[in-house]
Structure 1
Amino acid sequence: MPAPFRLLTIFLESPSFVRDIWLLLISLLLFGATLYIYVRLRSNTFRRIRHLLEERVEVKTRQLVEKNLELEQLSLVASRTDNSVLIAAPDTRIEWVNDAFLRLYAMPKDKVLGMRLHEIAIYRDIDQQVEQTLKQEHSSIFESNVTTHHPRNIWISSTLTPVYDEEARLKKLVMVDTDITSTKQLQQQIEASLKEKDVLLKEIHHRVKNNLQIIISLLNLQSGYIKDESTLKAVQDGQNRVRSMALVHEKFYQADELTEIAFGEYMEKLCQYLYQSYGDKTDRVRVLIDAGDVALDMDTAMPCGLLVNEIVSNSYKYGFPGQRSGEIRIRMFREDKTVTLDITDNGIGLPEGFSVESSESLGMQLIQALTSQLDGELSIGRENGTRFTVKFPYPKG
């Protein structure tokens, strides 16, 4: 018989108290085994939990160290910077300011804390700025000038930043002010210097124009003593050329900006002078001008004005002989960096076999020279009259 069965038989044949002892021993043994297993399981669980807690504590500790370092750096920046920094509650009550704020506005700290922003002189209109900043939901920058309640006149550049919490509710208002007084003073000096230079340049243009006008007057006086018709016409042509240059200087000293002049207005005035110069033909010949909003600088306006003078003068002199009537059209337009000057007339046109390159006419030679000065290209058409087209780059370079 196997041993387990023999033990079971002995156990069953034993007296009852012996069986009770055996049952007690077995129960204790099972309880001990159960307790041992439970303790081992709990111990393993506790070790795992402790390990997880240690990892979490380590992560949190590292995060706190980083946060403390960041706060320390921010505190250092906020307290040591030369820029004024303040923090206000959503109702604009000031909760904190750095030392730079107290130095900049010469105010004691105990007086500043608790004040509303608009109660400080420089922030009188801050409520409107706060409202606008909150609508934009991002920082805004504005400038202020402190002329009262301050030991000196200062300019301030302010950056107002709203700070929101995780639920998009306004948490704080942060204001950073920078003293830009020296920059403003330098800017004002530069502006004053530029205005002074503008005045000087206008005076120069005015004096040059007056000097050219004197030359025109002298030529006009001299023409009274000239009997030869061809010489008289040459002097009158010279007058017109000088007048076209004088008019450029006149337009520049009359302009608000000295960089460019509206060339359409210039051509209107120039053609009025030519109208007076060729009075015997102006009742029969109309001049139509279309220049849009083209504006030219001094270096370009001068040769371009002389070009218009020469071409329009040629049309007046040679395009409408006798009692012939017609019109002269002047168009100027700009496409990207190219300006086109197109002057046409419906007169008798150029003679057959005419070549501008071989022409001995002073006017034609000037037209070529002025086109070259503009770095331009000249083309001449002979259909239904005469057409001069000059294309040149502007601005140069």
Structure 2
Amino acid sequence: MELIQEFFTSGGFIPHGHCYLWKTELVWLHLLSDLLIAIAYYSIPISLIYFVRKREDLPFRWIFLLFGVFIILCGTTHVMEIWTLWHPTYWVSGTIKTLTAIVSVFTAASLIPLLPKVLAMPTLSELEAINIALAKEIAERKEVELELSHNLDLREAIYNEATDALFLVDTTTLLIIDCNPCAVEMFEVNSKEELIGIEGQALQKRQFSDRELTAILEDISNKGFWRGDIEYVTKKGKHFWGNLAAKHINVAGQDMNLVRVKNINDRKLAEQEAQEGKRILDALMEYIPDGITIADAPDVNIRRVSKYGEQLTGRSREVLEDIPADRHVQEWGIFRIDGITPATNEELPLTRAVQKGENVIDEEWVLQKPDGSQIVILCNAGPIRDEENAVTGGVIAWRDITDRKRVEEYINNLNIELEARVLERTLELSRANAELETEVNERKRTEERFDLVLKNSPITVFTQDRDLRYTWVYNPALGVDYESVIGKLDAEILTLEEDAQRLSHLKQQVLTNGIGRREEVHVSTHDETRYFDLTVEPLHDRDREIIGIGCVALDITQRKESEVQLRAAYDREIVLMKEIHHRVKNNLQIISGLLYLQSRQVGEPKTQAIIQSSRDRILSMALLHEKLYRSRDLEHIDFIGYIQSLTLSLENSYASRSTNISLNINAEPVKVDIDTAMYCGLIVNELVSNALKYAFPEGRSGQITIEFHKGEPDGYTLIVRDNGIGMNEAIDLKHAKNLGLQLVYSLATQQLKGQISLEHQGGMAFKITFTIKP
């Protein structure tokens, strides 16, 4: 252990740096030199080891590894030179140098027997010549092998790699000898054994006739091949089109037909689509209500024009088609939108689409017809491109928008007028807004006055929802407050259940029918009954759906009490008035009776007649009071009943003269006031009395008619006519000497304030028209 410890310690030696007197420059010189040498020594063996690992065929690999060990030890000795500058472990340093010496001597000894072998190795030029000769030999051998397998590879490539179905067919039996995998896939069979041994045309949808088959075989024999399009059917029933090419060949001394079937289904579909597209294009060009023009590139030669395009231009297809770009403007009559400036051929939309590939959207041009009339057309044009995006032509669609332009001009004029009206309306709205603000302020003041009035009035306003629960109340009645009413039903507020049911029924009718109601209702509390004039109206939302009701209740309790009092006073007055009418009637009858007694004391007939007339007038007034006494209405009287009673009384008074005279009454059922009834009764009394006395002398028969009708508002007509002998047509009622006629004229013009007229045709008629002021 002591020996090992002494081996790795300084053992009293001084560092190597003392030899350099610790001169900084000298120390750094040796340090850097040894460090760089060590780094170089260590990198060399790394490269050698990497080289040996990559070249496993390298001869004498061990000598390279030995050189690597030798160089590593050399580098380590230089590292120890740096270490001993400060750490004098000279035993370790000496040991490493000893190992280096042993390895170096062994390496030098190993090189001596190795040199002859190295010198015997071929040079690079010799190796290159050997490699070239070897490569030539290999190439020649491969060429021979390729030539030998060429035929087999070619056949294998034809059958296995071809994208078409290939068949070898016997020229005599026309049976399939062999086929490639593509044929198996094309005809959807499991293996080629299903195809070998069958006749090829068995795969066709329609087999050849004998004549067709003979012609095909002759073409193969004479021309060496035959080609045609045939529709086939696969084993799974799928139809497809194939192009068949048959050629006579000789394989290994055996004659046979090589048949190729190429699937051309896509081409056939493309041809069908192209034909369908052509039919669609023909239909569009024939029926589409727009002008369509198609041109070829690059000279913009017009190939086709739609039928509607011919009609719009007013020109025939022969004039419009097959013309180049430099004649478009002239032949078509194209102008710019102003209708005056002719267009140039270069700026036309179709020319730009074909020659520049532009897409032209909604350009307006003017087209002039042969008769000089012009139309405005709206154009959209674009290029036609092929698969490689090259322009092969162009198309332009255009339509007549002349009417639309007129409409636009009309609309523009309307817009101008509308803007003026809007400006005018805006000014009106400004004024209306100012007026509205004034009205709003006035309404607010009105509402304040309304609130003030309602607070001191017997009016209650409230709203209820569809469930008849109170949602708002203003000026609550019956001694309740706002909070105790909101959200409640009538049954929860009112004292009596029947009051709540009656009010709820009324309100529910308004909710159901949507029609407002106004009724007088009464509500009882614990100590009184109050009466209200209740108005109920439905409330609607914006969609006019009923969402509740609004009510206004006017407390009319005091009015109802006053009405009771007035009714009692009125009843007492009625009793008093009836008593008065009864006594007046009795007094008039007494006067009539006295006159009757007086007439019996007078012997002169003329005086008796005067007294009788007076009695009749008194009786007519007595009869009026009799009617009023028996009537419930003391202010108005049934005029028909009164006239009937009056005429009956007159018939009784003149019974001896009215035997052959009939009295007819034609009157509407109307009621008149007492004064009017009395005046009309006196008139009827006078006229009927005169007719009974004078119109039918010597017992002649006749007819007296009384008519009473209501005409215009408040207007009435009274007519008394007879078919008797009539009166003198020169009579003047105003100055009549007869007391009766004077009385009639006075009553009609002064009391009734009406007019009286006479008719003398077929007897005598008195017509009185008057107005009764309400």
- Scaled by the length of structure 2, what TM-score is found? 0.37
Alignment of 1:204 onto 2:580:
yes
Following TM superposition, by how much is the alpha carbon of 1:273 offset from its aligned partner in structure 2, in angstroms? 0.7
Which of 602, 607, 610 is matched with 1:234 structurally? 610
Alignment of 1:271 onto 2:658:
no
Name the CA shift for 1:300/1:165 in 2 (closer, same or farther; >3 Å).
Answer: closer
2:748·2:768 contact (CA, 8 Å) conserved in 1? yes
* Fraction of identical pairs, as percent: 35
Q: Which SS does the other structure have where 1:340 is aligned?
A: strand
| 1:1-397 superposed matches below 5 A | 90-92=466-468, 100-101=476-477, 104=478, 116-118=489-491, 120=494, 121=496, 122-137=499-514, 140-147=517-524, 149-160=525-536, 177-336=553-712, 337-351=714-728, 354-373=731-750, 374-391=752-769, 393-396=770-773
Following TM superposition, by how much is the alpha carbon of 1:256 offset from its aligned partner in structure 2, in angstroms? 3.1
Residue 519 of structure 2 aligns with an amino acid whose one-letter code is F
Partner of 1:49: none
Deviations 1:190-212 (A, max 9, x none): 34333433333333222212211
Q: Which SS does the other structure have where 2:699 is aligned?
A: coil
Q: Which SS does the other structure have where 2:610 is aligned?
A: helix
Q: Which SS does the other structure have where 1:370 is aligned?
A: helix
Following TM superposition, by how much is the alpha carbon of 1:160 offset from its aligned partner in structure 2, in angstroms? 4.5
Name the CA shift for 1:145/1:211 in 2 (closer, same or farther; >3 Å).
Answer: same
Name the CA shift for 1:360/1:134 in 2 (closer, same or farther; >3 Å).
Answer: same
Name the CA shift for 1:357/1:180 in 2 (closer, same or farther; >3 Å).
Answer: closer
Name the CA shift for 1:234/1:146 in 2 (closer, same or farther; >3 Å).
Answer: same
1:118·1:125 contact (CA, 8 Å) conserved in 2? no
Following TM superposition, by how much is the alpha carbon of 1:244 offset from its aligned partner in structure 2, in angstroms? 1.0
Deviations 1:232-286 (A, max 9, x none): 2211111101011112222233333233222222111111111111111221111
Residue 723 of structure 2 aligns with an amino acid whose one-letter code is N
Aligned partners of 1:161 and 1:321: how far apart in 2? Answer: 71
2:532·2:557 contact (CA, 8 Å) conserved in 1? yes
Task: Tell me which structure has the larger Cα radius of gyration.
Answer: 2
Residue 381 of structure 1 aligns with an amino acid whose one-letter code is E
Length, aligned pairs only: 318
Following TM superposition, by how much is the alpha carbon of 1:294 offset from its aligned partner in structure 2, in angstroms? 3.8
Aligned partners of 2:725 and 2:472: how far apart in 1? Answer: 87
Residue 760 of structure 2 aligns with an amino acid whose one-letter code is R
1:106·1:150 contact (CA, 8 Å) conserved in 2? no
164-173 vs 119-128, which deviates more?
Answer: 164-173
Aligned partners of 1:305 and 1:354: how far apart in 2? Answer: 23
1:329·1:344 contact (CA, 8 Å) conserved in 2? yes
Residue 309 of structure 1 aligns with an amino acid whose one-letter code is N
Aligned partners of 2:693 and 2:551: how far apart in 1? Answer: 73
Q: In angstroms, what is the RMSD of aligned CA positions?
A: 3.5
Partner of 2:25: none
Name the CA shift for 1:380/1:126 in 2 (closer, same or farther; >3 Å).
Answer: closer
Following TM superposition, by how much is the alpha carbon of 1:338 offset from its aligned partner in structure 2, in angstroms? 3.1
182-191 vs 228-237, which deviates more?
Answer: 182-191
1:154·1:181 contact (CA, 8 Å) conserved in 2? yes
Q: Which SS does the other structure have where 2:658 is aligned?
A: coil
Name the CA shift for 1:98/1:254 in 2 (closer, same or farther; >3 Å).
Answer: same
Unaligned runs of at least 5 residues, structure 1: 1-72
